[in-house]
């Protein structure tokens, strides 16, 4: 069973998707997270459209409110392709307000995430985003009561309630998290 699951994940990782958001809503999740555990009436879709690897093509990050807590949630990352399709890239846990993207060179960026684990503990995680994948470069534990975290910028997040997305996926998106 384990080998079969690994083969399924590897196959899914290479699949080119025209609409990752629709696929996500229909159950596509190569990460195996517990997405969509809330009732549809309480579920909010989240997306970030940004060039995360500095290759000139918009990438996509998708999440939804069932996985979220005070520190953020799980995001499925999809790398944009020149033909307009997307390939699953990986999964990261973060809040858009505590994440920053810094271009390093063409096709390479650095993602810095300030991840809170509790009221007083967290970490600063740095990843490198390239066409080959997203790789953790470093992680440093921090005591949030005594340390000022490095500055981060807000990624452009949008939200859409799941029921509204099912009615009209083209016009339901609004700026912000919409989790209140």
The neighbour count for residue 3, using CB atoms within 10 Å, is: 7
Q: Please name the residues in contact with 173: beta carbons below 8 A apart, sequence gap of 6 or more.
A: 47, 158, 159, 160
Contact at 8 Å (CB) between 129 and 52? yes
pLDDT score at 114: 85
pLDDT score at 157: 94
Q: Is 16 helix (H, G, I), strand (E, B) or coil?
A: strand
Q: What is the pLDDT of residues 25-51, one digit of tens each?
A: 999 999 998 899 989 999 999 999 999
Q: How far is it, in rounded angstroms, from Cα 68 to Cα 71?
A: 8
Q: How far is it, in rounded angstroms, from Cα 48 to Cα 75?
A: 9
pLDDT score at 9: 40
Q: Phi then psi for 132, rounded to 5 degrees?
A: -80, -20
pLDDT score at 67: 82
In this predicted model, which residue has the larger pLDDT, 100 or 149? 100
Identify the band that residue 5 occupies on the pLDDT scale cut at 50, 70 and 90.
Answer: very low
Task: Name the DSSP class of 149.
Answer: P
pLDDT score at 45: 97
2 pLDDT more than 50: no
Q: What is the pLDDT of residues 118-145, one digit of tens each?
A: 878 888 899 999 999 999 999 999 887 7
4 pLDDT more than 60: no
50 exposure class (CB count in 10 Å sphere: 0-12, 13-18, 19+)? middle
Identify the band that residue 152 occupies on the pLDDT scale cut at 50, 70 and 90.
Answer: low
- pTM across the whole model: 0.87
């Amino acid at each position: 069973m384990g080998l079969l699951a690994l083969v399924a994940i590897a196959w899914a990782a290479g699949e080119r998707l025209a609409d990752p958001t629709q696929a996500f809503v229909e159950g596509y999740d190569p990460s195996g997270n517990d997405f969509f555990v809330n009732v549809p009436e309480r579920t909010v879709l989240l997306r970030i459209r940004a060039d995360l690897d500095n290759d000139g093509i918009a990438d996509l990050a998708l999440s939804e409110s069932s996985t979220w807590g005070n520190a953020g949630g799980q995001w499925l990352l999809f790398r944009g392709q020149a033909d307009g399709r997307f390939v699953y890239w990986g999964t990261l846990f973060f809040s858009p307000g505590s994440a920053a993207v810094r271009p390093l060179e063409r096709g390479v960026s650095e993602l810095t995430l300030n991840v809170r684990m509790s009221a007083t503990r967290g970490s600063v995680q740095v990843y490198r985003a390239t066409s080959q994948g997203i790789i953790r470069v470093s992680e440093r534990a921090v005591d949030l009561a005594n340390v000022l975290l490095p500055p981060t910028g807000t990624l452009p997040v949008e939200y859409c309630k799941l029921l509204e997305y099912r009615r009209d996926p083209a016009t339901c998106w609004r700026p912000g998290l919409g989790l209140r």
